[in-house]
Amino acid sequence: MHYMHCWNLLPALLVGVSASGCNGSAAQYDADPPTKITLFSVFHPNPQAPLFVDEPPPDYYRRYSLQDCRERFFSTVLQNDEFTGVYNGEPATVGEFNFFAAIGWTGSDKTVKYKCGGTLITLNFVLTAAHCAFDDLSVQPDTVRLGDVDLKGPSNDQNAQQIKIKTFTRHPEFRPSKAYSDIGLIELSQSARASPYVCTACLWTAASNPDYTMTLMGFGAVAYAAEPSSLLRKATTMRVIDSGTCASRLLPNRRLPQGIADQQFCTVGSSQDACEGDSGGPLVVYLSDVDKLIPFVVGITSLGTGCGEGSVGLYTKVSQYISWVQSVTKSNFNQLQCARRSVCREYFKDFRSPVQVQKLSPSCRTTLLRGDTPTGCGGTLIDYRHVLTSAQCVSCTKAPTHVSIHDNIVKVQEVIRHPGFQEDPLENDIALITLEKYLSHELNDRTVLPACLWNQPTLDTSEVFVAATDPTADSYQRLIISSKLIDDQFCGKDQLCSENSVDVIPGVCQYEPGGHVSNYVSTPTQGFIPFIYGVNSEGFECGGKYGTFVATKVEPHFSWIEAVVLNKSEGKVHLSNQCNRVHTKLYSYSLSL
């Protein structure tokens, strides 16, 4: 006879799906009921109890199976923390592009005509095209309007800022007769005031263009030969095309006598493009940074084939001019610094990123240390004194001597690598760490508890959480990446492959080798229970369509894990830390560092 439980996975909870009922999206766990035993180790509150103690719980050596994890560690309901996680263009909403600047020429009748666009990149400077320094009558612009999405209507005039131009600096290599080095900087006569409607964008600094769909915006005409639009419009399907394709589609242009330069690139939209009046405006990509969506300017609108379906736009490549921009503005445009330290951080769009700070309790994650230095690997507490990690994380050069759990440092007694582990091809990439102390079963709170192991051959979910860290944080910051399981041709039969297709700012998140692939499962009586599906083996950046996370499945190794944890295994070989003596068939060694 089997017990069948209907549990709802956390991702459904996050998007507001009801937690009641049993349907196809619920995870089901089929397990043999434990024999009737008294669990002396069920957790009891004790305000004075330390997290780790020298003695095991009373029934430690009578435990017969790891399948009692739910009853043993989660016998009462847990309280969880909040989980934190143009041409044919559409009109922009108020505040949507708070970095956009309309560059204007004031006429003798005091009316202003806005003929170019730009981007507020500091509170004192606007980035634009160099050819916007003069109009067709050789007159210079004299004003910039910020925070307005309707130049004729009064709907959001109270949010807009009108600031006079102090200086217009063109790149020294720009020549008016050519489209090369078509980049300029406007210094404002006074600083803009940061607000939800007026603020700055960051600059894309990488040498290569992002391989993502980008957004174009401007007050230009909405059709060929039409009047400029009074509404700020956006095109969100712009993608980069190679220079050869671009050259073949661009009409002969005397402003490009040497063809398309390395400092330029082209985009095409399915039915959207830049038009006259969009010159100098930004082409931006949005990347996520945990809880914010950050705009990065990739290109500056320079020229194009006309604003029609399938037309091509030519842009100045911003990353090629970062040094010059920094020298003129006296500002640093490091991508991470801009995203994290910008005065406009609070005004960047809130975003429930797939990359989140892990706030859900209880925590089962650990950091592996060699001495007092992190090895770069993580692990998962799976019982009172055992940590599950990757076999690669216990190699000779970085075998851990200690483990950090919730600010507690615990000494490692033994490291046990799977006997079938091999690096090429990667197989059985799993290991266990035995600690010298035991997790106390008399705890003041439930912030730290072991995770349970998933031992079913299939997963009733397509979403998992992949362990990661924030390398930019002052202290060790644990993250999780919400990822979707995928079928990958390079994924072995005992591996799990997943991906996060949302683009993340490079460097804000670091995949954690040895960390877990998991999900928190909600139960009717036991609250949220962390279940481990796999152990991180291979991964790169934390996001993007080309990044695949590879993990070693727990289920095929459940019996081996259980045998080691419950001390049922035979034939262990204990060695000193002389790694050159470890034979492939020997899988256990004691540390004497």
Could you tell me which residue, 339 or 547, shows the higher pLDDT? Answer: 339
**At which residue do the structure tokens 């949302």 appear?**
502
pLDDT grade for 474, boundaries at 50, 70 and 90: low
* Angle made by CA atoms 583, 588, 593, in degrees to the nearest 5: 100
Q: Of residues 131, 386, 418, 516, which has the active-site annotation?
A: 131
Q: Of residues 229, 279, 311, 404, which has the active-site annotation?
A: 279
Instruction: Determine whether 182 is an active site residue.
Output: yes
pLDDT at 328: 97
Q: What is the C-alpha separation between 143 and 186, in angstroms, rounded? A: 10
Compute the mean pLDDT over every residue in the chain, rounded to the nearest whole number.
77
Task: State the pTM of this model.
Answer: 0.66
CATH code 2.40.10.10 region(s) in the chain: 100-341, 365-575
Mean pLDDT along residues 482-489: 83
Per residue in 189-242, pLDDT (tens digit) is 999 999 999 999 999 999 988 877 788 877 644 433 334 455 666 555 577 888
Q: What is the C-alpha separation between 86 and 214, in angstroms, rounded? A: 13
Instruction: Determine whether 142 is an active site residue.
Output: no
pLDDT grade for 88, boundaries at 50, 70 and 90: very low
pLDDT at 487: 83
The CATH number fitting domain 100-341, selected from 2.40.10.10, 3.20.20.370, 2.60.40.2380, 3.30.930.10: 2.40.10.10
Q: What is the C-alpha separation between 546 and 539, in angstroms, rounded? A: 11
pLDDT grade for 398, boundaries at 50, 70 and 90: confident
Mean pLDDT along residues 164-177: 96
pLDDT at 18: 28
Nearest by Cα to 382 from 310, 327, 431? 431
The string over 452-474, giving b where at least 16 C-beta atoms fall within 10 Å of a residue's C-beta and e elsewhere, is: bbbbeeebebebbbbbbbbebee
Tokens of 178: 């050519």
Instruction: Determine whether 211 is an active site residue.
Output: no
CA 23 to chain centre: 30
Nearest by Cα to 377 from 477, 369, 29, 546? 369
Let me know: does 312 contact 302? Beta carbons within 8 Å: no
Tokens of 234: 């956006």
Task: Judge whether residue 247 has pLDDT over 60.
Answer: yes
Could you tell me which residue, 580 or 76, shows the higher pLDDT? Answer: 76
Q: Of residues 148, 150, 182, 383, which has the active-site annotation?
A: 182
pLDDT grade for 173, boundaries at 50, 70 and 90: very high
pLDDT grade for 476, boundaries at 50, 70 and 90: low
The topology (CATH level 3) of 365-575 is Thrombin, subunit H (2.40.10)
Q: What is the C-alpha separation between 593 and 370, in angstroms, rounded? A: 10
Could you tell me which residue, 43 or 535, shows the higher pLDDT? Answer: 535
Q: What is the C-alpha separation between 367 and 376, in angstroms, rounded? A: 8
Could you tell me which residue, 333 or 446, shows the higher pLDDT? Answer: 333
